[in-house]
Every structure is written in C-alpha cells, then in structure tokens.
Amino acid sequence: MTETPTPSDSVVHPRPAVGRLPKYVAGKPPVDVPGLESFKLSSNENPLGPVPAVMDVLRNAADIHRYPDAGSSRLCVALGEFLDVPATDIVPGAGSLGALNQILAAFAGQNDNGVHDEVIYAWRSFEAYPICVGLAGATSVQIPVRADGSHDLPAMAAAVTASTKVVLLCTPNNPTGPALGAVETEEFIRSMPRDVVIVIDEAYQEFVRAADAVNGVDLYRKYANVMVLRTFSKAHGLAGLRVGYSISQPEVTQYVRAAATPFAVSGIGESAAIASMENYSQVVERVQSLVDERDRVVAGLKDLGWDIPDAQGNFVWLPLGSNTQEFAALAQSQGLSLRAFGNDGVRVSIGEVVANSRFLEICASYTKEPRRS
C-alpha cells in the first residue's frame, strides 16, 4: 500500500516568484454590533448598485448555459460608440485587473535570456500591482508617492532603465486619492522611450472633478505607447460581474488580444455593461450623488482638522501612520469596516449617508486624542 506523503515530503513546488508575492487582502465585511446597522466601507464598492435597466437584464438572463462571445464583440462595439474610439482598439477583461494582467502577459516578464523586465509604478498604489507584476515574471520598481499622496512623475521617469517595459499610472491613485494632471502626464509620456508601454489606470475616472485632470483616452489617441484601463465595477456598480477593458492603438492591441483570456467577460456581464451605457444619464446622477457625499465627508474632515490628500475617487485617505490599525479597530467597533494598509493609513469608501456620518463622528472623537502621526 502506498503511503500518502506528508506536506513536508511533497515534491510539488511553486515557481519561486509565487513564494515572494505579497498577499492580496480584500476589504473585510463589517462585524455585527448590537444596536447599530453595520456598513462595509472597505472595498470602494458603489453602494447604490446598478441602474434599473441593468437589474432587468440580470432578472431576464437565460443563456448562462452557453459560452459567451469569446471577444465580447457587442461590448466592444458599444464601447467604441460610447467613447468614440474604434471598437478594434478595445480588449475586454475580467475587470480592469483582468485587463491589466493581459497587458503584463503581453509586455513584461522573464526574457529568453533569463533577464526580468521591470514595471514601474507609484507606491503606495493599487495593492494588486506587485502581485500582478510578480506573477508575470517581471520585477516591480516602486516609486514612493509624494507627501500629498500624488505620483512623483520626475522620480518615476528617472527610474527608467533599458529593462523597463511598462509604467503604471493610477489616476486617481488608489488608495491615496489624487488624480494626475493632464499637462504633467503628457510631459511624462514625452520623456519616456517610445518602446515603454504606459498604462493609465482610470478605474475611478467618472468620479474625478479636478479641472486639470488627465483623460487617458485623449492621450491614447496621441501616443502609440499609451494604454488606458477602465472598468464597470465602480461608477456603474457592476463589481460582482467583472467587466473591464483596455484601449490602445492597433500596433499594441494586437499583442494584448493575443494574450487575452477567452470568455473573460460573461454574457450577462456584457449585456449588463451595454444596458448601463445605454442609460448613462442615470449612472451620472448616481455618481454625482456619491461625489456630493465625498465632498461632504472631505469638508467635514477638514473642519475637524484632518489633513488629507485630494480625494478624486469614491474614497478618502487618512494618513494615520502607526495609528492605522488602532483607528480601523475603533471603526469596526462602531459597525464600520474600513481598509487599513499596514502602518500607512486607512482608506474609507464613500458609502450610505448614515455610514459616512458615523465615520465623521468617529473622526471627531478620535481627533480629541493626540494619537495621529
């Protein structure tokens, strides 16, 4: 009888890169607190959900036993009309994260000579970046954000080497909040080697109100090495359906499409995204209501004496330093689940009005104690 090997006897080992990957920590749900309604403000979800037409699509879905269109052609056509870009310049993915993985699979990894490509991005930025880059076989080059939470574009430009293949620009930056300006971003692009792919990650683009903010689609039209990432998860309220996409010129798109995952977007997701675009005026109304709430929260924090970065997404950032975990635990005890990032700070999604008001009450009580760093 053959004995089952114990884990220590196993001959199965992951790639070395897997063992070095940081662990992705998803936003946790709130705990139940007696006498309080609990709220999840930890995942930057849209608390208003999708528009009614999308709910009709979901209720009437009947073809889930069939594979979807491998390339989501209806979605590409609809997006092309919506954004005024060629449908062939769009490659769908399972959320903007899935679209990013397709880009990295196409352009960054370990070369045949064993050399690892480099991917430059700001830090702290989207928590999945180092995981995606590592899985692709490339090397992360993290450039610290400025004190105000914004990208240090000159430092990022100075970090470019012959091994640099991709630069990721997250705007607005998740989790700190500031958006990149149009002028500074175009100057940065012009300073880059033409063979470096520049990805403008605009997952929160619809929430931006800064007058000088960059629009990635404008720059993709002008520069062949610029790609844009967008998603239906945030503004459209379709986070659970995983519908995202990248946009790039044909000489780039051809390689992304070759690396794309077939059937990445479900048929239901495709139909829901199309219905949401067809009712975009309602999406805009919902987004504006969240922006109004964001502005109320920001004004409330400033009145309380909090110094926070410019908030251009559907979240705010508290740079709490060593008090990060303490503050998150305090909020949890009051029925709010926030997203704590090590000893850097806490990201708080804009949620229901009552949840946002309770968050401000917690901040008011916390500022009475000299514990912020």
Instruction: Report whether 99 contacts 93 (CB < 8 A).
Output: yes
Query: What are the structure tokens assigned to 11, written together?
Result: 């001959």
Single-letter code of the amino acid located at 31:
V
Q: In the predicted model, what is the mean pLDDT of residues 195-199? A: 98
The rounded distance, in Å, linking the Cα atoms of 350 and 338 is 10
**Does the pLDDT at position 240 exceed 50?**
yes
- Predicted confidence at residue 7, as pLDDT, reads 57
Single-letter code of the amino acid located at 250:
P
The rounded distance, in Å, linking the Cα atoms of 168 and 222 is 18
250 — phi, psi (to 5°)?
A: -55, -35
Percent of the chain, pLDDT > 70? 95
Q: Which of 117-121, 246-250, 309-313, 364-368 has the lowest mean pLDDT?
A: 364-368
- Predicted confidence at residue 1, as pLDDT, reads 55
Q: List 110's β-bridge partners, or say none.
A: 116
- Predicted confidence at residue 326, as pLDDT, reads 96
- At 290-331, the pLDDT tens digits run 999 999 999 999 999 999 999 999 999 999 999 999 999 999
**Is 310 exposed, middle or buried (CB count within 10 Å of its CB: 0-12, 13-18, 19+)?**
middle
Q: In the predicted model, what is the mean pLDDT of residues 85-89? A: 98
Instruction: Report whether 300 contacts 308 (CB < 8 A).
Output: no
Query: SS3 of 13, please?
Result: coil
Single-letter code of the amino acid located at 74:
R
Instruction: Report whether 243 contacts 232 (CB < 8 A).
Output: yes
Q: In the predicted model, what is the mean pLDDT of residues 242-261? A: 97
The rounded distance, in Å, linking the Cα atoms of 87 and 241 is 21
Average per-residue pLDDT for the chain: 93
The rounded distance, in Å, linking the Cα atoms of 226 and 174 is 20
Q: Which of 4-18, 42-56, 98-112 has the lowest mean pLDDT?
A: 4-18
State how far the alpha carbon of 109 is from the alpha carbons of 101, 148, 225, 266, in Å: 11, 32, 18, 28
**Does the pLDDT at position 371 exceed 60?**
no
- At 1-41, the pLDDT tens digits run 556 656 556 678 777 777 777 776 777 777 888 889 999 99
* Banded pLDDT at 373 (limits 50, 70, 90): very low
Q: Which of 64-73, 146-155, 300-309, 311-320 has the lowest mean pLDDT?
A: 64-73
- Predicted confidence at residue 319, as pLDDT, reads 97
The rounded distance, in Å, linking the Cα atoms of 172 and 205 is 7
N-to-C CA span, the chain? 62
| pTM, 2 dp | 0.93
The residue written with tokens 């309380």 in the block is 304
**Does the pLDDT at position 363 exceed 70?**
yes
Query: SS3 of 158, please?
Result: helix
**Does the pLDDT at position 355 exceed 90?**
yes
As a dihedral over the C-alpha atoms of residue 322, residue 324, residue 325, residue 326, rounded to 10 degrees, the angle is: 90
Single-letter code of the amino acid located at 247:
I
**Does the pLDDT at position 237 exceed 80?**
yes
Higher pLDDT, 72 or 373: 72
DSSP summary character for residue 67: P
- Predicted confidence at residue 370, as pLDDT, reads 40
A 10 A CB-CB count for 259 gives 14
